[in-house]
Amino acid sequence: MDLNYHHLKYFWATAREGNLTRASQRLRVAPSTVSAQIKTLEATLGHPLFERRGRGLGLTERGQMVMAYADEIFGLGQELVDAVRSKTGPKHAYRFRVGLGNDVPKLQAWHLLSPCLRMDDLPVHLVVHEDRADRLVADLATHHFDLVLVDAPVALASEVRVESVLLGESGVTLLASPKLAAGVLAGFPQSLHEAPLLLPEVGSELRRVLEEFFTTHEIRPRVVAEIGDSALLKAFGQEGAGVFAVPSAVAVAVQAQYHVVPLGELEEARQRIYAMVMPNRRANPAVEAVIDAGVAARTGTRVPPGA
């Protein structure tokens, strides 16, 4: 059964208001009409979208997913109307939707995405959503994103083909607070044996690289914390809780921001950033700008001005 966008709009209004009565006033229809339209939408999708929370309504897990799509659908609809009515042309000719893996350093993400904001012939409205890499790539396959940046290629269980392009690569540098660094600088990296260490969460590519390095060199640091949020991990490191790793490409910026010092770069340890894209989105101008600039920076080739 095809999606009825009239039903979706009633759901969207109710979700935004959090109340059937307020939604019906906004839509200028009876509350019973709004309720009936939402029930029809739920029957079409096969899942409840709302649940009672006190005197109001809250979104179920499926409802939150539908709301994310509805926000984009009706946001684009208003953008279309504004663009057509405008005498000076659209303010945002293209909405560029990017998924950003949790483990991608934010400074690197900025450098990789910034070319799409400098295109002279196409103004871009950049929308970035951060999440786990596997979830982002699954949403990429359903066309929820134009591009996804991750630290390792992600394979899909389905037969849907997704392209991965290596955009950036750097070494891995270990950092620590000045006080902690004073005790482990001499004899690096063997001095890391039994030294306090802060690790990214299980499943991250940076963690895999670190564990592989320590195993290869028979070094056994003392893991004091595993932290998924990179900013929180750096904050722990700043306070001297343990040694931590960052891509060498952002090490200088991290040193300045968190007042930590470098211990050294790990031999052979590499951190990479990949762009993942559906083949039919490859010719998208914003996707093309990000990929071309990233590959050019990595390989040392020159991108023509304005490209």
Domain ranges for the chain: 5-64, 72-168+273-299, 170-271
The helix/strand/coil state of 263 is strand
Distance CA 112, CA 149 (A): 9
Q: 138 and 276 in contact (C-beta within 8 Å)? A: no
pLDDT value at residue 306: 38
pLDDT value at residue 83: 60
Strand partners, 243: 197
The DSSP call for residue 15 is: H
Domain 5-64 fold is: Arc Repressor Mutant, subunit A (1.10.10)
What CATH architecture does domain 170-271 belong to? 3-Layer(aba) Sandwich (3.40)
Q: 277 and 291 in contact (C-beta within 8 Å)? A: yes
pLDDT value at residue 278: 86
Q: Phi/psi of residue 246, each to 5°?
A: -140, 155
Per-residue pLDDT of the chain (307 residues; tens, 9 = 90+): 678 888 999 998 998 888 888 889 988 999 999 999 999 999 999 999 999 887 778 888 888 888 878 877 877 676 666 666 655 555 555 778 899 998 888 888 999 999 998 887 778 889 899 988 888 888 887 777 889 999 888 876 555 678 899 998 889 999 999 999 999 999 999 999 999 999 998 888 899 999 999 999 999 999 999 998 888 999 999 999 999 999 998 899 999 999 999 999 998 889 899 999 988 778 788 899 999 999 988 876 554 443 3
pTM for the structure as a whole: 0.66
Of the candidates 26, 21, 1, the one whose C-alpha atom is nearest the C-alpha of residue 9 is 26
Same fold, 5-64 and 72-168+273-299: no
Q: How far is CA 4 from the centre of its chain?
A: 30
CATH class of 72-168+273-299: alpha beta
pLDDT value at residue 125: 84
Distance CA 134, CA 276 (A): 11
CA distances from 250 to 97, 207, 215 (A): 24, 17, 25
CA dihedral 62, 67, 70, 71 (to 10 degrees): -150
Q: 147 and 290 in contact (C-beta within 8 Å)? A: yes
pLDDT value at residue 307: 37
